[in-house]
């Protein structure tokens, strides 16, 4: 999605990504889990819209409730330091997108997803 966003996304959409990162950081600092999850939801919604990939958008729309629920679960378990580190990684994705560095953005997205998936599995394992 990051590669497609860099090809198709507008400057206005890039600015919206930056706003979502700023909101995520403010929410992490305030320990506002709801605002934190919403900021991440907004970031990915803008990234997806800017990619122009309608098929991916439809697929992810069907998974949206599950993804949001999982984000809430992991946010509740993540200490503030982890949340701030996560925001820093999100900012890294944004900076690569802002500079239109497709390979860098794709690598950072993949690393972000791997890290998030590992933590989600840890949280879900602890809940069972």
HEC readout, the chain? CHHHHHHHCCHHHHHHHHHHHHHHHHHHHHCCHHHHHHHHHHHHHHHHHHHCCHHHHHHHHHHHHHHHHHHHHHHHHCCHHHHHHHHHHHHHHHHHHHCCCHHHHHHHHHHHHHHHHHHHHHHHHHHC
pLDDT of residue 98: 97
Alpha-carbon separation of residue 90 from 7, 95, 108 (angstroms): 19, 9, 8
pLDDT of residue 5: 96
Residue 1, pLDDT > 80, answer: yes
Q: How many CB atoms lie within 10 A of CB 105?
A: 24
**Which structural domain, as residue segments, surrounds residue 103?**
2-127
Mean per-residue pLDDT, 61-88: 94
Residue carrying structure tokens 């890294």: 92
- Any idea what the Cα angle at residue 45 is, between residues 41 and 47, rounded to 5°? 120
Number of domains in the chain: 1
pLDDT tens-digit readout, 3-49: 999 999 999 999 999 999 999 999 999 999 999 999 999 999 999 99
d(C-alpha 34, C-alpha 108), whole Å: 25
pLDDT band for position 127 (50/70/90)?
Answer: confident
pLDDT tens-digit readout, 79-115: 999 999 999 999 999 999 999 999 999 999 999 999 9
pLDDT of residue 30: 97
Say if pTM beats, i.e. exceeds, 0.95: no
CATH code of residue 25: 1.20.120.530
pLDDT of residue 128: 72
């Amino acid at each position: 999605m990051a590669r497609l966003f860099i090809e198709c996304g507008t400057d206005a959409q890039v600015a919206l990504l930056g706003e979502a990162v700023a909101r995520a950081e403010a929410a992490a600092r305030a320990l506002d889990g709801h605002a934190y999850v919403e900021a991440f939801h907004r970031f990915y919604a803008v990234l997806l819209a800017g990619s122009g990939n309608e098929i991916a958008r439809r697929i992810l729309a069907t998974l949206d409730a599950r993804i949001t629920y999982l984000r809430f679960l992991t946010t509740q378990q993540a200490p503030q330091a982890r949340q701030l580190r996560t925001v820093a990684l999100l900012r890294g994705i944004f900076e690569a997108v802002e500079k239109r560095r497709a390979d860098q953005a794709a690598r950072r997205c993949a690393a972000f997803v791997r890290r998030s998936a590992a933590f989600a599995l840890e949280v879900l394992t602890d809940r069972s």
